[in-house]
Amino acid sequence: MDPSTIPAPGSSERTRVRRISEKAVEDRGVVEAILDAGLVAHVGIVEESGQPYVVPVAYAREGDRLLFHGSTGSRLFRRLAEGAPTCVTVTLLDGLVLARSAFESSMNYRGVMALGTCTVLDGDERDDALRLISDHLLPGRWGDIRPPSRKEIAATLVLALPLDEVSAKVSDKMPEDDPQDVDRPVWGGVVPLRESFGEPVADERGSAYPVPAYLGSWTR
């Protein structure tokens, strides 16, 4: 029951895993694979008062930075644009670990936490970022849809967070019950959690067109 222990990881003192070091992963490839597999990130934003907010966003990874966007009308996103420190966390839940003791019961997960300060993208960089965020959610879609107009782009705040101070934690294990608990007469093991696309539901406005091939049968 300890996804509560995802905190931390490590490329800097303040992100170093302090408690359950066996779960920390410093491999850059693992960090990138987790970011590339997620659909939503949770962004931490602190108001002047010290009150934090945690906001879900669509995002994409472009090399060594994370891209996401919000409305120019959002006071929270304006805080980020002004250089407020942030934390962006991506969590993939992979399964329930059903141990024979409450204490060892937990979840398998992969998580990335990135700390830093965002920069506001403009011009071609901004336009590219919008395409990359679309490509991240559904590769192939961008070529089919009307790109954003100047007016639409002007209403969109596009931010980039450098992946300098970043780390991952991965828990992929069977229950770690103490020997005296293992013989308890109850099933122990892991129940995987799966995410997948359901049956597409067509918009009745407009003419009927076939479901695009790039929808495929995504599953994780």
Tokens of 120: 């506001």
The pattern of x and - marking residues 107 through 126 that bind its own copies according to CB under 8 A reads: x-x-x-x-x-----------
CB-based contacts of 172, cutoff 8 Å, min separation 6:
94, 108, 110
Candidates 22-30, 118-126, 192-200 — which segment interacts with its own copies by CB under 8 A? 192-200
Among 61, 65, 95, 126, binds its own copies (CB under 8 A): 95
Candidates 26-34, 118-126, 203-211 — which segment interacts with its own copies by CB under 8 A? 203-211
Q: Which is nearer to its own copies, 44 or 162 (CB)?
A: 44
- Residue 154 binds its own copies, judged by CB under 8 A: no
Angstrom distance (rounded) from CA 146 to CA 159: 22
CB-based contacts of 71, cutoff 8 Å, min separation 6:
77, 155, 156, 157
Angstrom distance (rounded) from CA 92 to CA 14: 22
91 contacts 3 by C-beta, under 8 angstroms: yes
Among 61, 77, 126, 168, binds its own copies (CB under 8 A): 77
87 contacts 114 by C-beta, under 8 angstroms: yes
- Residue 183 binds its own copies, judged by CB under 8 A: yes
Query: Among positive and negative, which fits the CA dihedral 111, 116, 120, 126?
Result: negative
Angstrom distance (rounded) from CA 98 to CA 96: 6
Among 31, 88, 121, 166, binds its own copies (CB under 8 A): 88
Candidates 22-30, 99-107, 118-126 — which segment interacts with its own copies by CB under 8 A? 99-107
Least distance to its own copies, CB of residue 84, Å: 8
Kindly identify the residues of this chain, within the stretch 34-73, that bind its own copies according to CB under 8 A. 39-40, 42-47, 50-58, 68-71, 73
Candidates 27-35, 118-126, 132-140 — which segment interacts with its own copies by CB under 8 A? 132-140
**Residues belonging to the chain:** 220
